[in-house]
Structure 1
C-alpha cells in the first residue's frame, strides 16, 4: 500500500472542521505562504494591467472593417487609422473582412482578447439591424464596447431627374394613390437602404415594391434609367449621379439641412414627413472587457482627429461629416436606433436569415 511522507500525513491534510481543532503549525505556514503568493500574483497582474493601459499601444493595432474595400466605411476607416498611427507612433492597420452584411468580421473581433489590439468598425448594420435579421449571431452586440463615432452620412430620398415628381409630398401622394405601383431599390434584403425604405413607408403610411440589388451601387443605374422610382440611401452612394444631374434629391433624413447635400434641400420633416431620421454612421468598438483606460485614450485621440480641419475637409469630400463624442453617446445612439428597429419589426415582416 502506497504511503505519503509525514509532511503530507492524513493528520495534517484533514480539514480542521472534521478534526474540530486549529490547523497544525506546518499547515498554517503553508496556507499563509499560499495566500501571500496569491496576493503577490494579483498585485503583479493589477500592476501589469495598469502599465499596459499607460503604455498602450506598444505594438501594431488591427482594425477589422467588416465590409468590402472601396466603400464609404472603408474610406473613413483608413483615414482615421492613418491619423491614429501618426498620433500614437504605432501602426493602426485596417483589414477588410467582409461577408454576411458585416457579421463575419464583427464576430471575429468579438471573440478576440480585449487588449486593445483588435478593434472593429461598427455600423447600424452590424450592431442595430443584425439581431433582427439573423436567427443566430456569432456575437452579442450589447457586449461590444463603444469607443466613439467616426463619421456620418445623411440618408437622402432620391428619384430620377426625369421623374414628374418634384417634392417629397408628391412622392407620398403618388405612393398612396397607387399602393405597390412605385418601387424602391436597396443593397439587398435587410441592408441599410432596405431598412431606410421600410422606415419611410412606416412613417408615411405608404406601400412601395421593394427591389433588392447586390449592393446599392447596382441599384443606382436602374434609378437613373427610371426602372425603379426611388432610393433611400446614404448620400455618398448617389452623390456622383446627383452632381451629374441624373438624379434628384427630394429630402435629407436628418434633423437639419446638410451642407454636403445642399442647403436648398429640405429635411424630411420640413417636407412633411416628421420623425424620418436616418443616417449611415460608422464608429469604433472593441471586444467585451476592453479596459476603460484604453477606451478613453482611443476616444480622446479620435475626437482630436475629428476636430482637425484637414480631417473635416477630407470627410466632406467623401460626403461624410465627423461625429466626435463620448463612448456613452455612441452607446445611446445604438440603444435608440435598436428601439426604433424593434418597433419597425412589429409592423413590417422582415425575414430572418
Structure 2
C-alpha cells in the first residue's frame, strides 16, 4: 500500500507538472484584461486599445481594455501588481509610474520586483515650443537670450517630478541657462498660457505639440531625442546646437506592456512575439504616427527590462541634479 501511494504521488505530481507546462501553449483560454493606467483619450489609451484589437485578432480571444487612471498612472500600476500572475491581466502604461515618479516620490509598489516587462510599444521625444509670434526662431536664439538675461524667461512645467519639469531642468543645466518655473496641473493649461504669452517656452509631449504646430499656434525649436524625429524631420535636435552640455541629450516619452511579476515566461514570450508582429502593421504605424508616436518594439522581454532599468537610472540622476540645484538656491 505504501508503494502504491508513493507511485500515485509521483503520477499526480507528473500530471500537475504536465498541465502547468502545457498551459502557456493554450494561452489565452479566456478574455485578457488590459489595464491602461490613464483615462480614455490619453495617448496610452490609444496605444492600449489599438494593440488590444490586434492581439484579439491574433489570438481569437478578447483583450478587454480597462482604464484605471489617476495619480500619473500610480493607481493603475498599484492595481496590476495585486492581480494574479496568470497572464490574464497585463498593463499598457507610460514611463511616468515606472521610471519617473518612483525616483521623485514614494510609491506603494516596486516596478522592478512586482512587474515583468513584456515589450516597448511606442516612443516619442518632447518638443521645445514657443508661441507663433515669439522672437525666438531657433533654440540657439532662446539660449543666447536666456544666458544674457538669467531668470527672465518663464517656462511651464507640468508639476514637480514630472518628465516635463525634469527635462527642462536637464536642459537648463546642459545649456547653462536659468529659466523661471511656472507649474501647471496639466499640458492643456500650460499650452494655453504659452499661446497667450503668460509663459515663454514649454517642453511638451510630441503628440500635444504636433497638434498645435499643425494649427499654427506654436513654433517648434527643437526635439529632445538624440537625433531628429522622423515625424518632424525639419525640427533639429538639441544635440545639433553643438553645446557640449547638450551632446546626446535624450528625453524620450515611451509606453510599454508589463505583466505582474511571476507571470510565466512562456506566456510573456508569446505576448511579446504577438506585439512585435502587431507593431509592424501599417495600420498600427499610421495610427501611432497620427498621435505623434513611433511604433517601437523590443528585441526581447529581457531587452525591454534593460531599457527600463537604464531609463530609471537616467531619471534618478536628473532628479539628483534638480535637488542639488534647489539646495543651492
Do these two structures clear the TM 0.5 threshold for a shared fold by scoring above it?
Answer: yes
Match of 1:216 in 2: 187
Match of 1:277 in 2: 250
Q: Is the 8 A contact 2:157 2:183 kept in 1?
A: yes
Determine the C-alpha separation between the residues in 1 that align with 2:80 and 2:11: 32
Deviations 1:189-243 (A, max 9, x none): 2222222222212322322222222211221111111211111122111222111
Change (3 A) 1:104 1:34: farther
Note the 1:1-353 alignment, pairs <5 A: 30=2, 36=7, 38-135=9-106, 137-143=107-113, 144-261=115-232, 263-272=233-242, 273-325=246-298, 326-349=300-323
Q: Which SS does the other structure have where 1:347 is aligned?
A: helix
Change (3 A) 1:186 1:93: farther
Q: How many residues align?
A: 320
Determine the C-alpha separation between the residues in 1 that align with 2:145 and 2:238: 17
Change (3 A) 1:87 1:177: same
Please identify the structure whose Cα radius of gyration is greater. Answer: 1
Q: Is the 8 A contact 2:166 2:319 kept in 1?
A: no
Q: Is the 8 A contact 2:104 2:319 kept in 1?
A: no
**TM-align CA RMSD:** 1.9
- Segments of 5+ residues of structure 1 without an aligned counterpart are 1-28
- Bigger mean CA deviation after superposition, 55-64 or 123-132: 123-132
- Bigger mean CA deviation after superposition, 208-217 or 298-307: 208-217
Q: Is the 8 A contact 1:186 1:219 kept in 2?
A: yes
Q: Which SS does the other structure have where 2:321 is aligned?
A: coil
Deviations 1:20-64 (A, max 9, x none): xxxxxxxxx65x666545544432332222221001001111111
**Runs of 4+ in structure 1 displaced over 4 angstroms?**
32-38
Change (3 A) 1:181 1:36: farther
Query: How many angstroms does 1:95 deviate by?
Result: 1.0
Change (3 A) 1:172 1:45: farther
Change (3 A) 1:177 1:297: same
Q: Is the 8 A contact 1:193 1:216 kept in 2?
A: no
Change (3 A) 1:88 1:168: same
- Segments of 5+ residues of structure 2 without an aligned counterpart are none
Query: How many angstroms does 1:178 deviate by?
Result: 2.5
